[in-house]
Amino acid sequence: MANAYVRKAWTVVLAGTGINLALGILYTYSVFKARISGSADYGWDASSLNVPYSVCCLVFAFAMILAGRVQDRFGPRLTAFVGGLLVAAGFILISFSTALWVWVLGFGVLAGVGIGFGYSAATPPGLKWFPSWKTGMVAGIVVSGFGLASVYIAPLANYLLGVWDLQGTMLFFGVAFAVVLSALSMLLVNPPAGYDPKQAFGETAKDAAAAARTAAPRDAKPSEIIRTGRFWLLWTMYVIGSGAGLMVISDVLGLAKRSLAEQAFIAVALFAVGNAAGRIVAGILSDKIGRRLTLRIMLAFQAVLMFLAIPLVVDGGVGAVLLVVFATFIGFNYGTNLSLFPSLAKDNWGLRSFGSNYGLLFTAWGVGGLIFSEMYQRLKSDGEQGLAFIIMGVVLLVAAAMTFLLPGWRETDEA
Exposure of 379 by Cβ count < 10 A (0-12 exposed, 13-18 middle, 19+ buried)? Answer: middle
Exposure of 215 by Cβ count < 10 A (0-12 exposed, 13-18 middle, 19+ buried)? Answer: middle
- CA pair distance 66, 104, nearest whole angstrom: 20
- CA pair distance 241, 239, nearest whole angstrom: 6
Task: Specify the CATH number of the domain 12-191+205-403.
Answer: 1.20.1250.20
- CA pair distance 367, 46, nearest whole angstrom: 22
pLDDT of residue 415: 35
Exposure of 279 by Cβ count < 10 A (0-12 exposed, 13-18 middle, 19+ buried)? Answer: buried
Measured over the CA atoms of residue 25, residue 154, residue 48 and residue 239, the dihedral's sign is positive
Is the distance from CB of 341 to CB of 328 less than 8 angstroms? no
- CA pair distance 39, 99, nearest whole angstrom: 12
Of 36, 25, 261, 16, which Cα lies nearest the Cα of 121? 16
pLDDT of residue 198: 82
Length of the chain: 415
Is the distance from CB of 30 to CB of 252 less than 8 angstroms? yes
pLDDT of residue 340: 93
Exposure of 316 by Cβ count < 10 A (0-12 exposed, 13-18 middle, 19+ buried)? Answer: exposed
pLDDT of residue 410: 42
Three-state secondary-structure class, residue 131: coil
Phi, psi of 38, rounded to the nearest 5 degrees: -100, 10
Measured over the CA atoms of residue 370, residue 258, residue 314 and residue 267, the dihedral's sign is positive
pLDDT beneath 70: ranges in the chain: 1-2, 203-218, 250, 252-265, 268, 313-320, 407-415
- CA pair distance 94, 258, nearest whole angstrom: 29
- Per-residue pLDDT tens for 276-312? 899 999 999 988 888 899 999 999 999 999 998 888 7
Of 293, 323, 360, 278, which Cα lies nearest the Cα of 68? 360
Is the distance from CB of 166 to CB of 158 less than 8 angstroms? no
pLDDT of residue 205: 47
Domain ranges of the chain: 12-191+205-403
Exposure of 308 by Cβ count < 10 A (0-12 exposed, 13-18 middle, 19+ buried)? Answer: middle
- The H-or-E segment that residue 340 falls in is helix 320-349
Of 138, 289, 359, which Cα lies nearest the Cα of 298? 289
